Structure 1
Amino acid sequence: MSSHQKRELIRALVIDDNVDLAENIREILEELGVEALLAHDAASALEIAARVVGAIDLAFVDLKLPGGGSGVELLPRLRALSAEIEVIIVTGNATLDSAVQAVRHGIFAYVQKPFDARDFIAIAERVVAQIRLRKERERLARELERSEELHRSLVEMVDAAILLIDREGTILFANPFAEERSPHPHGLIGESFIETFIEECLRTRVRRALSELRPYERSEGVESHARVGDQLRTLRWSVSRGGSGSDERYLAVGIDLTEMRALQMRALEAEALAAIGTLTSGLAHEIRNPLNAAALQLELIVRSARRVEEGSLRDRIEERVEIVRTELARLSSMLNDFLSLSRPAALSLEEKDLRDIIESVEALQRPLLEAEGIELRVDLPETPVRARIDETKIKQALINLVQNALEAIRAKGGGVIEIRAKARSDGAVELAVADDGPGFGAASGDLLRPFMTTKEGGTGLGLAIVRTIVERHGGELRLFANSPRGAVAQFTIDRRA
């Protein structure tokens, strides 16, 4: 007898007004490991069955009970209290009619008195064995249900995409993690695993690898990119084959490497910026001195040119001086950008209404944009949008984004730039600069990295500086397409930063 069976208690109720017979039946049952309770009539039997903790599993019922009651008539009331109860009718007044009624009520056995002791014990052993078997099945079913629930929870909670696919690659099951990375708004079930998650250049290789998998063998991992909304996710997939024939199924597990790759890239960027910071800091003094001296010499040249009598010569000199002055200013600006990115100053946080900062940026940028034929729109809520920020840094970030939008749409000879802000319900504020220019293109994520630019002559530092400012405020900068055309640079800041 197993430890589980020992713990599974079986309770029996012996209902008979013959005390000696009832005691004998109890002794037999206790020898079989059954707890037996005695009742002498229907009323006491129902009282015991209702009072006992747990169901009564077995009842020995005398067909003729005191008070004129019938054991067969008692059966429905016992089953109302213990649905799975097994019943053995014991009677010294057997009739065909009573036997038929008892069988209709689903009794286990119909025993006539006087009975052979060995036959009776054999019946008792069979019914107890049947009850133990039922209880074992119920226990196994409960354990299976708990096990399934545990595995279901693991599959649903694990930070990996888990798919069950058939031999054609059709997705039969997808856990929530996989569904969250699905490009299909209606879900993954019924979609092609390869078409959904494997980029085109790798599909032939993956199909061949799956066709060559043996039962219970796992494929080598393959990294692939899949677009989810406006994000490009990187997942590393490995596929295991389950069986063959009708049981041929494949388990595909995808580890999302997007955040890890981003962290690795940020670490490399940090190392590069640290090296640049060391270099820039050392050269800043050496560079600024010649720049200042050159600017001073230009001013002297301008003053000397004003004394030149020939107007055309004077104009040519001033024109060339202005070109050199513009280039010197650009070099100085680049140097400041390098220093700002590699050695950012500590933030000076104060609670501010972001509407005031945006209006300040609007006043500063509107004349410049109007001179280029570009309309500037500002969309602000009527209520304050407050957050703890470094006002100078946030203003710098917004100006950088407006300048970036200006450079993007300048070539088409006009357009619209919009600055907007709002407070979100999750405790963050959201700011965005949108334009109707050509957009960022497919490599929008790369543009946040230092020195990445799509503009001729650009340094690739503008958006990187904005990202650094936003992240130091505990926020996130995102780039995505505007509708119907153009680009949006949007960032969030925690109000309590």
Structure 2
Amino acid sequence: MAKKESSLDRVLGRIESLDAINLTNLAQKLARERAYLETVFNTALEGILVVDEDGVVQYANESGQSMIGLNENDLGASILWRLIPGLRDSLGLKEGEPLRDSISSRELELTYPEQRYVRIYFLPFKEPVGDEDKQFVVMLSDITSEKITKEETIESEKIASILLLAAGVAHELGNPLNSLTIHLQLMERQLKKLEATPASEKLGNSLDVCRGEVERLDGIIKNFLEAIRPQDPDFQVLDLSLVLEEVLEVVGSELNDRGISVEVEVVTEAPIVRADRNQMKQVFFNLIKNAMEAMQPGGSLKIVSRSDEERIYLRFGDSGGGIRKSDLSRVFQPYHTTKREGSGLGLMIVQRIIRGHGGQVGIDSQEGIGTVVTLELPKRNRKLRMLEG
């Protein structure tokens, strides 16, 4: 259905033929339209910014100016990366690199002009306006009180049911696993009584594989239960690249079966942090599993580690189908999943663990291109500030 043409559109269509009086009337009407729209935007509680691809703030409503400490006189000159330190690194942008055409979501702590937590969405315009550079709408929502109230509600109402579910699943899986362990032990004893032959040696190797897989399943169940319970991390100095290697070794056969290539790149120094080894293994396992399930056979997973003066950044980028815009804000909610057999708990567990380590989780996604999940963690020599939830 074609958009209905307004009287203002009709006047603008013949602007070259207007005389001085009509031009004055048009200018006054445009001023009224602008004032009306300014009032609408300034009524919104959310911050609304428009930035170009270099992060220069071209427009900000009153809420946006208040949240990031921006003066109206600085519009067109102030750069968003300076107003919100850490945002550019969180988005994975190098100095001078333009914003990408992807929908991005971040949760960050601001310390100026006052301490608060904000949720930030980057939404690219469909097309550049006129001869201007590509522009992006940036939505800022103050979620400080939400972290105290909403997440406590989730804790009390949903996590209890998750614990009950997990306990039931662990019990139901534990019984057959115990039975498998017992029968594998019996088979191993019988095998030792047989004469050593190439066939018996091959059977022994198969038994070792089966026993290892049973132990791995048992470990997954235990890690799952530990991850969803609010436990304090057992901090130790870790090289996350070594922990990642351990996880990739465990899931290596499944990655090979799917024909998925994995590239790991450490851009700067080794990612040394103070963290709980088992919990970080659970985080990596969940993210890699999500990436595998999002990709078709033959896909690629790239994991990049880099750092700045205070934080370590780990980016998990897959070549899957991406996340729909309508789903992006709900990916951390318990039970929310777009997969037929998904539990909707994986990213919730990831966010819980990373927040327990004083970090944040960010997601960038573009439909048909893929998804990048960014983990931000404090360096080992930086004092942790634990986040609620």
Mapped contact 2:359–2:376 kept (Cα < 8 A): yes
What is aligned with 1:317? none
- Output aligned runs, 1:187-198, within 5 Å: 187-188=58-59
What residue in structure 1 maps to residue 211 of structure 2? none
Structure with higher Rg: it is 1
Instruction: Structure 2 unaligned segments of length 5 or more: list them.
Output: 1-30, 62-101, 107-117, 121-138, 189-213, 385-389
Please list the CA deviations of residues 25-83 of structure 1 after superposition, one character each: whole Å capped at 9, or x if unmatched: xxxxxxxxxxxxxxxxxxxxxxxxxxxxxxxxxxxxxxxxxxxxxxxxxxxxxxxxxxx
Whichever residue aligns with residue 433 of structure 1, its letter is F
Partner of 1:54: none
Match of 2:301 in 1: 417
Q: Describe the shift of the 1:287–1:167 C-alpha distance in structure 2 as closer, same or farther (beyond 3 A).
A: same
* Aligned AA (1:447): V
State the AA in 2 paired with 1:453. T
Q: CA deviation at 1:275?
A: 2.0
What amino acid sits opposite 2:151 in the alignment? R
1:487 is aligned with what amino acid?
T
Q: 360, 377, 393: which is aligned to 2:263?
A: 377
Question: How far did 1:478 drift?
Answer: 1.4
Q: 1:234 to 1:336 in 2, by over 3 A?
A: same
Q: Distance in 1 between matches of 2:331 and 2:215?
A: 24
Q: Quick check: 1:169 aligned with 2:55?
A: no
Match of 1:469 among 353, 375, 381: 353
* Structure 1 residues 330 and 423: CA distance shift in structure 2, 3 A: closer
Contact 1:428 1:494 in 2 (8 A): yes
Q: Structure 2 vs 1, CA of residues 165 and 359 (structure 1 numbering), >3 Å: closer, same or farther?
A: farther
1:118 — aligned with what?
none
Matched residue SS, 2:321: coil
Matching residue of 1:230: 104
Q: Kindly indicate whether the alpha-carbon contact (under 8 Å) linking 2:286 and 2:346 is maintained by their aligned counterparts in 1.
A: yes
The answer for the alignment partner of 1:41 in structure 2 is none
Alignment of 1:191-340 (within 5 A): 230-231=104-105, 256-261=141-146, 263-276=148-161, 279=164, 283=168, 287=172, 290-292=175-177, 295=180, 336=222, 339-340=225-226
Say yes or no: does 1:394 pair with 2:298.
Answer: no
Contact conserved, 2:323 with 2:371, CA < 8 A, in 1? yes
Q: CA deviation at 1:289?
A: 5.8
Post-superposition Cα deviations, 1:141-195, rounded to whole Å, max 9, x if no partner, equal: xxxxxxxxxxxxxxxxxxxxxxx986762328989x98963145452379xxxxx
Q: 1:376 to 1:278 in 2, by over 3 A?
A: closer
Distance in 1, matches of 2:341 and 2:169, equals: 21
| CA distance in structure 2 between the partners assigned to 1:293 and 1:179 by the alignment | 54
Residues of 1 paired with 2:171 and 2:254: CA distance? 33
- 1:339 aligned counterpart, secondary structure: helix
1:454 partner SS = coil
Counterparts in 2 of 1:337 and 1:285: CA distance versus 1, 3 Å: closer
The 2-side partners of 1:345 and 1:428 are apart by: 23
Match of 2:88 in 1: none
TM-score (norm 1): 0.42
Displacement of 1:292: 4.3
Letter in 2 for 1:275: A
The percent of aligned pairs where both chains have the same amino acid is 22
Residue aligned with 1:346, SS: coil
1:377 CA displacement: 0.7
1:453 Cα deviation after fit: 0.9
Q: CA deviation at 1:365?
A: 3.6
CA distance in 2, matches of 1:189, 1:174: 9
Counterpart AA for 1:436: S
Cross-structure match for 1:126: none
1:346 CA displacement: 3.2
Q: Which residue identity lines up with residue 260 of structure 2 in the other structure? A: I
**Corresponding position of 2:208:** none
Aligned partner of 2:24 in structure 1 is none
Distance in 2 between residues matched to 1:438 and 1:263, nearest whole Å: 34
- Assess, with a 3 A threshold, how the Cα gap between structure 1 residues 188 and 462 changes in structure 2: closer, same or farther: same
- Aligned counterpart, 2:235: 349
1:454 aligns with 2:338: yes
TM score, norm. by length of structure 2: 0.53
Contact 1:291 1:332 in 2 (8 A): no
2:254 matched residue in structure 1: 368
Q: Per the alignment, in what secondary structure is the counterpart of residue 491 of structure 1?
A: strand
Rate the CA distance shift 1:281–1:491 in 2: closer, same or farther, 3 A: closer
Judge conservation of contact 2:244–2:281 (CA < 8 Å) in 1: yes
Over residues 182-228 of structure 1, what are the superposed CA-to-partner deviations in whole Å (9 max), with x where a residue is unaligned?
145452379xxxxxxxxxxxxxxxxxxxxxxxxxxxxxxxxxxxxx9
Give me the whole-angstrom Cα distance separating, in 2, the residues matched to 1:465 and 1:340. Answer: 10
Q: 1:332 to 1:183 in 2, by over 3 A?
A: farther
1:258 deviation in Å?
Answer: 4.2
Query: What residue is the counterpart of 2:48 in the other structure?
Result: 181
What do the CA deviations read for 1:406-437 (whole angstroms, capped 9, x no partner)?
0110xx32111011111123x01111111011
Report the count of equivalent residues. Answer: 253
Shift of the 459–383 alpha-carbon distance from structure 1 to 2, 3 Å rule, reads same
Contact 2:300 2:319 in 1 (8 A): yes
**Paired residue for 2:314?**
431
Matching residue's letter, 1:230: S
Contact 2:105 2:363 in 1 (8 A): no
Shift of 1:357: 2.4
Task: Name the SS of the counterpart of 2:330 in structure 1.
Answer: helix
